[in-house]
Structure 1
Amino acid sequence: MKKKLFALTMAMVMAISLAACGGSNSSESTDGNSFKVGVIGPLTGDAAIYGTCVANSAQIAVDEINALGGDIQFELMTEDDVNDAETSVNAYNALMDDGMQLLVGTVTTQPALSVVPLAYEDRVFTITPSASGDDVIAINDNDNVFQICFTDSNQGSRSAQYIDENFENPQIAIIYKNDDQYSIGIRDNFKAEADARGMSIVYEGTFTTASQTDFNVQLAAAQSAGADLLFLPIYYTPASAILTQANTLGYKPTFFGVDGMDGILTAKNFDASLAEGVYLLTPFSADAEDEMTQNFVTKYQEAYGETPNQFGADAYDAIYTLYQAIQAAGVTADMSNEEICDALIEVMPTLAVTGLTSAGSEMTWDANGAVSKDPTAVIIENGTYVTP
């Protein structure tokens, strides 16, 4: 199909209804006529903290919706992609063999860039909770992919804006992963915004998957350059190594990360006290006091024994966005993938969804699939996220 050319301006305000969990772990419809929703993400490997939380949170949302007993019921199917593009393609094909009609995925950007063209060709409506790369909603001129997370360009530019407005003349160093599109995209947009604002970037260092355990050279160079703020557009695993090695070197800049660093407090073999004072740009804080957040966090903790991260909150919002889109479009589970996909594409720009990750406001989408919501900064204090 052609790229979406329409932009509907009327918004239908639709409140998310939180229902009590029905007590069953099954996500299947009681009448056998359920929408089959696939989830693809890393359930094992270094990024498992993201994919596992996405799958768990999606299950909570599905159970809530199914417990309402309405005509819209979901069956959730999950596949592990270990944050690998080729494995993610295999996971997608397995889900299609099992009858997938809607895709919540992938969790991370690099696999998404391989899976999205397949979903476009098959006309599977796709909503990704956390694959934030700008290309995810643009590759092959697709029209069927929508994001719950804000884009890498938004993260990068808003990080620079926040730092410029809240720190006095910081001397900035950047360490990013140069074989990861997620990290590259955020870095590029951060640097563009920082340069436009006349901010001082005194050092840039890079690393790859093969070298993400030793950062002594980069940290020593950043310290020598006089950097007092270290911007880290990376995931929590290398970030935890950077914080540990900086502490060993006696280097104590302000650390500023993005949504990929969510989860650092529970990183394996990491002293969480080293994350004190770290800033993150994230749309979700488990310590927020609003009723929606507390209901979700309580259910997650009761079911899985730990606190959910931002990726889980994005997934929860993704399921409820699907729910409201299906309501608005009037589609049924016995329709073809293409019929469902085309109908949901048409209604998505009309939705206004209040979710866990919309900071009390509403998420809306443009005709290209990008979500409109503002990232907010939190700081880690006493092992929790707080608003500065």
Structure 2
Amino acid sequence: MKKKNVCSFVLAAAMMATLAGCGSSGASSAPAASAAGSASGSSASAGAIKIGGIGPITGSAAVYGLATRNGAQIALDEINAKGGLQFEMNYQDDEADAEKGVNAYHNLQDWGMQIVYGCTTTGSCVNVAAETYADRYFQLTPSASSTDVTAGKDNVFQVCFTDPGQGSTAADYVADQGLAQKVAVLYNNGDAYSTGIATAFAAEAAARGLEVVSNTTFPDDTNTDFSVQLNDAKTNGAELIFMPIYYTPASLVLNQAKNMGYSPIFFGGDGMDGILAMEGFDTSVAEGLMLMTPFNASADSAADFVSKYQAAYGETPNQFAADAYDCIYAIYNACEKAGVTADMSHEEVCDALIAAFTSPDFSVDGLTGTGMTWSANGEVSKAPMVVKVENGAYVTL
């Protein structure tokens, strides 16, 4: 969410695009799987269905790829412990780079992949999806939220919200709740995820009678000075700033707004999830921040997953990890429904999973949604959730 270059509802800011690894080096898939984390040892057998994962596990966007890899691993461990269908995952690093994503994909083909899990970021996923469509691999992404990922491809599905859907839903929420009349939009014009959500938000806000008094951008997630954008919003009387950006730049925006004495409502998307866990970040600066996300780690329903994730990785899972967990269970449930076995070709698996995901009686209950269903265009249907930061924690609204 992904980067959007990743997926789904308002993502947390430190999540940025990903980095280097096996995919770019051309290294063999065996060491790549070991370094990136293949499925549990019990699944690495001749009778296991092979899932190839792609995402950034090094570099500035590694936080997203590591989350999607680790969340998937929790699910795989649980599934393989059940007996029955077994899965093996080889997760390749694409550094959130489109070309390296394709290299990673080819490495996974050589490994014998039957199902594609990923990519984590949109830019990489768009390029890989073109390959999987031509080669007939079923592909499910946890976080690549652009409609370009699935457009014209019957084999590519998303667990995250689409960018336009997230943007328009956010605008509807602001209007329905009467949060503000004058709103500003601040987004990354070099990121497809951020741009897609911002464009949809601005259009829906205008349609709902909200006044977009400031619409400013920045070029990439390494941007550190947001004084021009904040001053523009403040000068024009913005009561709320909508920021469909990742949590790293968002943390800087919040700090700079505080320093200049400007305190509008800040509203973000799923890419901002994770901001409270940033090392060295003063969470009091985020007090009152609102964001749309499909996952709240503080919810009772997430307790078991959060406990396992913390035990395995020493940190609280974010929305990317939860979407990843749901991705693997969706694949597992669809494989069971379709009768997929490890000896099937990837083309046979692809046809079977497309039929399962688009079946009217197929749904998945997960961490990020109950009764999740998929349309023929690969888009997921699930209800969004809005959380607000209160006393350094998310509170579901």
The TM-score normalised by the length of structure 1 is: 0.89
- Specify which of 130, 133, 147 is matched with residue 146 of structure 2: 133
1:19 match: none
208, 229, 237: which one pairs with 1:226? 237
Alpha-carbon distance between aligned partners in 2 of 1:65 and 1:101, rounded to the nearest angstrom: 17
* 8 Å Cα contact 1:110/1:182 also seen in 2: no
Worse-matched range after superposition: 343-352 or 279-288? 343-352
**Which stretches in structure 1 are left out of the alignment for 5+ residues?**
1-23
Match of 1:108 among 106, 118, 121: 121
Note if 1:121 corresponds to 2:130: no
Query: What is the aligned counterpart of 2:63 among 25, 28, 49?
Result: 49
Amino acid at match of 1:45: G
1:25 deviates by: 6.9
Map residues 197-216 of structure 1 onto 2, 5 A cutoff.
Answer: 197-209=208-220, 212-216=223-227
Aligned partner of 1:242: which letter?
Answer: V
Matched, 1:275 2:275: no
Question: Is the CA contact (8 Å cut-off) linking 1:27 and 1:66 kept in structure 2?
Answer: no
Question: Compared with structure 1, are the counterparts of its residues 300 and 372 closer, same or farther at alpha carbon in structure 2 (3 Å cutoff)?
Answer: same
**Residue range with higher mean Cα deviation, 312-321 or 78-87:** 78-87
CA spacing shift, 1:168–1:282, aligned 2, 3 Å: closer
Aligned residues: 358
| Structure 1 Cα separation of the partners of residues 228 and 102 of structure 2 | 36
1:230-249 superposed Cα distances (whole Å, 9 cap, x missing partner): 10011111111111211121
**Counterpart code for 1:54:** T
Instruction: Report the more deviating stretch, 88-97 or 226-235.
Output: 88-97
- Cα 1:211–1:66 shift into 2, 3 Å: closer
Q: What letter is aligned with 1:37?
A: I
Distance 2:179 2:345 in 1: 56
Contact 2:255/2:285, CA 8 A, preserved across alignment: yes
Runs of 4+ in structure 1 deviating by more than 6 angstroms, as ranges, are none
In 1, Cα distance between the equivalents of 2:168 and 2:216? 19
The corresponding residue for 2:250 is 239
Query: Who is 1:18 aligned against?
Result: none
Percentage of identical aligned residues: 55
Partner of 2:167: 156
Q: 1:253 aligns with which of 223, 244, 264?
A: 264
RMSD of equivalent CA atoms: 1.5
TM-score (normalised: structure 2): 0.87
Distance in 2 of aligned mates of 1:27 and 1:154:
39
The answer to whether structure 1 residue 184 and structure 2 residue 195 are counterparts is yes
**Cα distance in 1, alignment partners of residues 328 and 43 from structure 2:** 15
5 Å matches for 1:1-388? Answer: 26-29=40-43, 31-70=45-84, 72-138=85-151, 141-209=152-220, 212-290=223-301, 293-350=302-359, 351-358=362-369, 361-388=370-397
> Is the CA contact 1:28–1:76 (under 8 Å) kept in the aligned structure 2?
no
Deviation at 1:29, TM superposition (A): 2.5
Cα distance change of structure 1 residues 136 and 27 upon mapping to structure 2, 3 Å threshold: farther
* CA distance in structure 1 between the partners assigned to 2:39 and 2:125 by the alignment: 28
Structure 1 match to 2:10: none
Q: Deviations over 1:338-363 (max 9, x none)?
A: 010011101111211111000xx310
CA distance in 1, matches of 2:125, 2:194: 15
SS in 1 for 2:297: coil
